[in-house]
Every structure is written in C-alpha cells, then in structure tokens.
Amino acid sequence: MSTSRDLEMKQISIKDVARAAHVSHPTVSRALRFSPLVNAKTAERIRDIAGRMGYQPNAVARGLVTKKTGTIGVVVTSISDPFIADVVSGIEEVANDHAYSVFLANSNADPAREIKVVQSFQERRVDGILVAASRVGALYVPLLSRLRVPIVLINNQHPDEFVHSVVIDNVPASISAVQHLIGLGHRRIAYMGDQFGFHSDTERFAGYRQALTLADYPFLPELVVHGDGKPEGGGQAMDKLLALPAPPTAVFCYNDMTAIGALRRIRSRGLSVPGDISIVGFDDLFIASYVDPPLTTVRQPKQPMGRMAMEIMLKLLSDGQHETIIRMQGELVVRASTAPPKRN
Amino acid sequence: MSTSRDLEMKQISIKDVARAAHVSHPTVSRALRFSPLVNAKTAERIRDIAGRMGYQPNAVARGLVTKKTGTIGVVVTSISDPFIADVVSGIEEVANDHAYSVFLANSNADPAREIKVVQSFQERRVDGILVAASRVGALYVPLLSRLRVPIVLINNQHPDEFVHSVVIDNVPASISAVQHLIGLGHRRIAYMGDQFGFHSDTERFAGYRQALTLADYPFLPELVVHGDGKPEGGGQAMDKLLALPAPPTAVFCYNDMTAIGALRRIRSRGLSVPGDISIVGFDDLFIASYVDPPLTTVRQPKQPMGRMAMEIMLKLLSDGQHETIIRMQGELVVRASTAPPKRN
DNA sequence: CTGAAAGCGCTTACAG
DNA sequence: CTGAAAGCGCTTACAG
C-alpha cells in the first residue's frame, strides 16, 4: 500500500521566485521569457534563482491569459490501427519539437463518441485539431468546423473545402501498382475495393481504370469486387473472384489488410501466390513484409504525412495561411507476392 | 487558400450566460455543475439558456482554480509499437469514460526526450502519469517520482517500489508456454530471450527453467540465446541455435517479434516450422496470427492492462490508496507453429 | 438559495 | 528597465 496524500505539495509560483529575487513578479515573468525589456544581468540572476528553486511555469495559467494553450487535439478512429499509429507518431514528433502537446482521443467511428471528443477538445481550448481517422462520419467535418479552430484532416474519406487536408495521391499510386502487374504480363487484373462511397476507394479504382485504359486493356466489371478494408472482407471478396469462370491472374487491393485476407484465402484454397494469382496491396504496413509471401504494395509515407499535417497546423497557427490540400506520393514496393502469370 | 483570421471569435463565458439569465455568474457556475445550492427551477432555466447560447465551459480556467486539470500524461517509447498502441487504447477508453483527457508523448527511448516530455507534463499540470514504455531508461522512474503526481507503470522493465504498476504475470505464463511444448513431446527446448537485465526477460526465463524442473528435464545452458526483442535479433539468435551439434526441437521466444525473426530464419534455411522446429512467442500481436505458420503464443491482455492502469490511476486520484502492483494473467493461444517433434 | 469578494498563476498594457 | 494594476474565466468560502 502507498498513498498519494503526501503528493500534495505546493508548487512554486512566479511570486515565490519574485520574492526570492527581490523583484516584482511581472519582472520574473519577463525574465523567464527572455523579454528584452528586462536588464540582462537581473534577468540572468532571476533565471538562475528560478532554476535552483525548481520553478516550473504553469501552462494552465499562461493559457488562460494568452488564450493559446499550446495543445492540439488529435482524433483517430483507433490508435490500434497501425496506419494511424504511424501517422500519430509523425504528428507527435513535430508537435513536441515545437513545444505543443497533443491530446489523443479515439472515436471508434462511433458518432456519439466523436461528439464527446470534439466537445472535450473544445472545453480544453485546444489551438487546433488534427483528424487521422480512416472512417469518419460524414457529419463530422461540419461538426468540427463549428469549433472555430484550424483543422487538418489526414486521408479523410469525406473531403471538405472548409478544412485543410493531407492525402495520399491515390490515382498515380494506383496506376503504378497496376502498371507493375501489366508489366509482368498480366491481362486479367481485378480490383478489390473497400466499401462504396469512400473517397480513397473511388480514387484508387479510378487509377486502376486509367492504367487499364493506358494499356488498351478492356475494363471488365466482373473483376471488380469489394471488401471491408479488413482481412475478412478481403477473403470474402476473393471467394467471388475465384468463383468466376475465368478468375483474374492478379488482384490490386484497396489496402494491405484486404490483400492479406485475399492472400490467405487463395492459399487456403490450395492455390499459390504469386504462382496462380499475384496480389498487390496498398499502405505498406509493417505486417506486409511479414506475411507469406511478403506483399508487393504501395507504400504510404505514414509518418511524413503526420509530420506534414502538423506542419500545416503550425503554419495555420502562425500566419493563418496555407494551401488547402497537400497530396503526397506513394511508392511501389515490389516484394514476392507478384510474378508473371503462368497462363494468360 | 483559406485563412484562420476569421476564426478569432469570442467564446461565450459564464458571465455572458449570467447576464442573459439575470443572475450572478457564481450562480451560473453552480447551476451548470448541478450544485444543490441553487434553486431547481432557476438552475434548469440557466442550463437551458447556456445550452441555447452554445456555452462551453473553459476547462483551462477551471483547472487553474481547482488545481485539477482532468488530464493525464501518457508516455510511451513509440506509439507505432503495436503492443503499446493497444495499451494506450485501453487507457484512453477508461480516461475518456471518466472525462479525463490524455496527453500522449513518445520518448523514443531517448533520455533527452524523456526529460522534455516529463517537463511538459509537469508544466501542463497533469493529474497523473502513465508510462507504457517497453524500454524506459533506468533513471526515468526517479525522475518521474519527483513530480509529486501519481504514477502508474505498465510492464516496466525497472520495477520500483515508489510507483504503481500493472504487469503481466510472466512466470506462470511462461511455464504454460513451455509445458505446452513438453506436452507435445519436446525435450530439447530452447529459450530465446531479450537483452540481459530486462525484468520481463529474467522472469520469462525463470518460468522456462521452472517448467523444465517440474518436468525433471535438465537445464542445458547452450539452449539459451538472446535476441534484441525484434525480428533481426531473433534471426541471429536462431543462427546460433541452428549451429549447435544438436539443435533444439522447440524454441520459447521472449516475444512475438523475436519469434517471427526466428521463424523466418528457420524457413530461409530450408527447414520447416513446426516440422523441424516448433516456435512459441509471447504477446499475441495482431501479426502473430498472420505469419506463416500462424504463431502459437502467450496472449497478453493488452487493452485490459491499459484499462486497469487507468482504473488504478482513477483510484489514486480519488482515495489516493491502491495496492502497488497488479499482476495480470496471460493466456496460451495455440496455433500452427507448434507440433510434436519428428525426432527426439 | 443568492451574490459580492477573493483568488488560482500567469501576461500585458500602462505609468514612471 | 521596473512595478502596480487589471484581467483571463472560472470556483469557493463568506455573508446575507
């Protein structure tokens, strides 16, 4: 047993330092913030005294008067999502480097929780909000906009002109993925998407179609199936493709989780990847290089996207000006899940 | 281009509500917090007015006077670590349910950053600190203790009597893992640890030895190797075991990442898992069920551990009393990486 | 039950 | 260059 009763100990305030240094507390305030208004010698002395007294400024009090808390709110669907964790890592890095602290909140894609989270951020007077949520409710952005603080969205599924965004440039990334398969000699290439209506799904599908068009390949509607962004959905969607009279020899998947589900299903049917069917994912999660065979995929620069989002936020917080949307480029990572087709 | 200049808009304060309701602002304060001191009818009316005015209490101001910010600081080595992300998810869930907000900071196991993080938490006057860091510097706990706020550590490698902890009960969990292998008929079972000096490594090793003793198996020092907690180290440690005159038929690994490295190395040598060698991991990361073959492992209740840690924190914040250490139980999850040995 | 007063720990005009 | 005063938006004794 231990107790925290003894933890209640008066924190040293600016006034205590002032008393010790025989100056007024505003002078201490100025000295600690390196204001040129205070004599260099005394400023030095004050800082020295504050240091040896173990003084730690109270950011709460400062926030109350300056109306800048130096905090930003980050809302994510789930921090357990490895994609999001990397993005948050990038955000946190830049924030910390600029003396901002980040509040983290999971929405779990639950509208009630989303509202609660936004409200708590508002009560805490965050200076800005970042949203890294693979699935945000359509009503969420308008809700956020009412807060009157800068908002930056990362890979949001419901783009909105009133907020800033950093997104992966889906179309060229998808074209390069499909062109990789075409280059290998595949002709029957399927697209395995996410749920309908998702912006990034629409864009990745568009890239798929463009790559086909560029190669003068016909678009075959039966080769388009949809999962749910997770392994399960990928497995089920794969069943549909395998049930086709002429199954595809390659599948471009919406994301790695979908690809992994497809891959497992193929193997559990006694078929081989890439022997019978090649698979390409999207994201390049850590897990992508550890499945068997290691997954060919489009790498999203996850941490850089987080960093960029926070940098935009910093910009917004200082000048208040920034372009509305930043597109970042993906990179095809070729591993062992793709190979030339056996048949054609 | 868009601007945030127009975002500067005066927030409604308790005084604005007071004016609108023709009462004093302390009465508004009481009404909003459902104080029994205020007349039920007027309280209702005040809340109604506050609601329609869109009033949002200022938690910063409240924190200044109450000296409770309703925030807790969570420091992690890296939120990109999937184990940690799950723990944080549990913490956040309980915190959010109790109207606490969480500050998240990565230490990256960098002592300079650890100090910076602690200092920022202190300046922000967090009510408590949770540490979910697989690798914390040995000097970190003393540093934290000086903060005079409750501290709860999760799976810390440097246990300390002055703080509270929730840990996985390593010994019985490890015994069950090794007994699973023994039950399968293995006799030459290796232990592949983490770096020396880590508390959980010491404990898991102790469980390994106890299981051998219980089965009246000899302890063979040459079957103990050490990785680095990551796939690379696991691969290298596996090389050592494979170079032995009589390699083990099974390996109990410190964690899943180590196990995955070992598993890959075995397969890249043309051997089979579990045909030639069985592998058991520890953690049950998401990835464990997606490697090939799916990994038999000890599941750590990651989210529950996070929830428990935050519950202890809440307790500490109210009564200030709680037992110092909570041990949670792991659970063996048998998948396909373990099987009876071919030879013996 | 209600309000006037004080104060939390800072920063920022305003005088000097 | 320095200090006295005011105020940020709340909560909490203290009177009444």
Q: Are residues B183 and B268 in the same domain?
A: yes
CATH number at residue B19: 1.10.260.40
User: Which residues of chain B lie closer than 8 angstroms to A104, CB-CB?
Assistant: 74, 88, 92, 102-104
Report if residue A333 sits inside a domain. no
pLDDT of residue A327: 94
Determine whether A152 is exposed, middle or buried from the number of CB atoms within 10 Å of its CB (0-12, 13-18, 19+): buried
CA distances from A68 to A101, A217, A335, B16 (A): 12, 56, 48, 21
Beta bridge partners of B76: B106, B132
Q: Are residues A205 and A290 in the same domain?
A: yes
pLDDT, mean of residues B295-304? 98
- Assess whether A17 (CB) lies less than 7 A from strand D: no
Report if residue A182 sits inside a domain. yes
Reported for A320-324, long-range contacts at CB under 8 A and 24+ positions apart, including other chains, are: A320/A150, A320/B3, A320/B4, A320/B5, A320/B7, A321/B1, A321/B2, A321/B3, A322/A164, A322/B1, A322/B2, A323/B1, A324/A161, A324/A163, A324/A164, A324/A165, A324/B1, A324/B2
Report if residue B338 sits inside a domain. no
What tens digit of pLDDT does each residue of A118-162 get?
Answer: 999 999 999 999 998 766 666 677 777 778 899 999 988 766 666
pLDDT band at B143 (very low <50, low <70, confident <90, very high): confident
Nucleotide nearest to B13 (CA to C1'): D9
Q: Are residues A77 and A149 in the same domain?
A: yes
Report if residue A344 sits inside a domain. no
Q: Are residues B224 and B296 in the same domain?
A: yes
Nearest residue on chain A to B102, judged by CA atoms? A103
* Enclosing H/E stretch for B94: helix B82-97
Report if residue A314 sits inside a domain. yes
Q: Are residues B181 and B158 in the same domain?
A: no
pLDDT of residue A141: 72
Total domains present in chain B: 3
Q: Are residues A272 and A257 in the same domain?
A: yes
Q: Are residues B198 and B213 in the same domain?
A: yes
Residue B330 has pLDDT above 80, yes or no: yes
Q: Are residues A191 and A149 in the same domain?
A: no
Q: Are residues A161 and A307 in the same domain?
A: yes
What tens digit of pLDDT does each residue of B146-200 get?
Answer: 788 999 999 887 666 668 999 999 999 999 999 999 999 999 999 999 987 788 9
Report if residue A205 sits inside a domain. yes
Residue B208 has pLDDT above 80, yes or no: yes
pLDDT of residue B93: 97
CB contact under 8 A, B96 and A320: no
Cα separation, A179 vs A177, whole angstroms: 5
Phi-psi region of A148 (alpha: psi -120 to 50; beta: other; left: phi over 0): left
CB contact under 8 A, A320 and B88: no
Of A9, A125, A148, Cβ closest to residue B148 = A9
Using the C1' atom of nucleotide D1, identify the protein residue whose alpha carbon is closest.
A38
Interface of B with A in 149-178 (CB under 8 A): 149-150, 162, 164
Last residue of a domain, one of A35, A57, A79: A57
Beta strands across the sheet bearing A101-106: A325-328, A164-168, A151-154, A128-132, A71-76, A101-106, B101-106, B71-76, B128-132, B151-154, B164-168, B325-328
Q: What is the CA A32 to C1' C11 distance in angstroms? A: 12
Q: Are residues B9 and B75 in the same domain?
A: no
Nucleotide nearest to B16 (CA to C1'): D9
Cα separation, B197 vs B190, whole angstroms: 19
What value does the mean pLDDT of chain B take? 91
Beta strands across the sheet bearing A189-193: A224-226, A189-193, A250-253, A278-283, A296-299, A331-333
Residue B344 has pLDDT above 80, yes or no: no
**Distance, in angstroms, between A163 CA and closest chain B CA?**
9
pLDDT of residue B6: 36
Q: Are residues A131 and A277 in the same domain?
A: no
Give the 3-state secondary structure of chain A.
CEECHHHCCCCCCHHHHHHHHCCCHHHHHHHHCCCCCCCHHHHHHHHHHHHHHCCCCCHHHHHHHHCCCCEEEEEECCCCCHHHHHHHHHHHHHHHHCCCEEEEEECCCCHHHHHHHHHHHHHCCCCEEEEECCCCCCCHHHHHHCCCCCEEEECCCCCCCCCEEEEECHHHHHHHHHHHHHHHCCCCEEEEECCCCCHHHHHHHHHHHHHHHHCCCCCCHHHEEECCCCHHHHHHHHHHHHCCCCCCCEEEECCHHHHHHHHHHHHHCCCCCCCCCEEEEEECCHHHHCCCCCCEEEECCHHHHHHHHHHHHHHHHHCCEECCEEEECCEEECCCCCCCCCCC
Interface of A with B in 22-81 (CB under 8 A): 56-61, 63-64, 69, 71, 74, 78-80
pLDDT band at A5 (very low <50, low <70, confident <90, very high): very low
CB contact under 8 A, A3 and B320: yes
pLDDT of residue B160: 67
pLDDT of residue A161: 66
Residue with tokens 């999850």: B333
Q: What is the CA A38 to C1' D4 distance in angstroms? A: 17
Of B60, B79, B120, Cβ closest to residue A125 = B60
Q: Are residues A196 and A103 in the same domain?
A: no
pLDDT, mean of residues A189-194? 97
- Assess whether A53 (CB) lies less than 7 A from strand C: no
The percent of residues in chain A predicted with pLDDT above 70, rounded, is 93
pLDDT band at A227 (very low <50, low <70, confident <90, very high): very high
- The token pair that represents B81 in the structure block: 């670590």
CB contact under 8 A, A56 and B291: no
- Domain containing B18 equals 5-57
pTM of the complete model: 0.93
- The token pair that represents A322 in the structure block: 């920034």
Report if residue A63 sits inside a domain. no
CATH number at residue B129: 3.40.50.2300
> What contacts A65, CB < 8 A, 6 or more positions away?
none
Nucleotides of D under 7 A from a protein CB: 1-5, 7-13
pLDDT band at B5 (very low <50, low <70, confident <90, very high): very low
**Distance, in angstroms, between B216 CA and closest chain A CA?**
37
pLDDT band at A199 (very low <50, low <70, confident <90, very high): confident
B279: phi then psi, degrees, rounded to nearest 5? -130, 135
pLDDT of residue A7: 38
What tens digit of pLDDT does each residue of A105-124 get?
Answer: 999 988 888 889 999 999 99
CB contact under 8 A, B85 and A79: yes
CB contact under 8 A, B291 and A286: no
B292 touches chain A (CB under 8 A): yes
Q: What is the CA B23 to C1' C1 distance in angstroms? A: 12
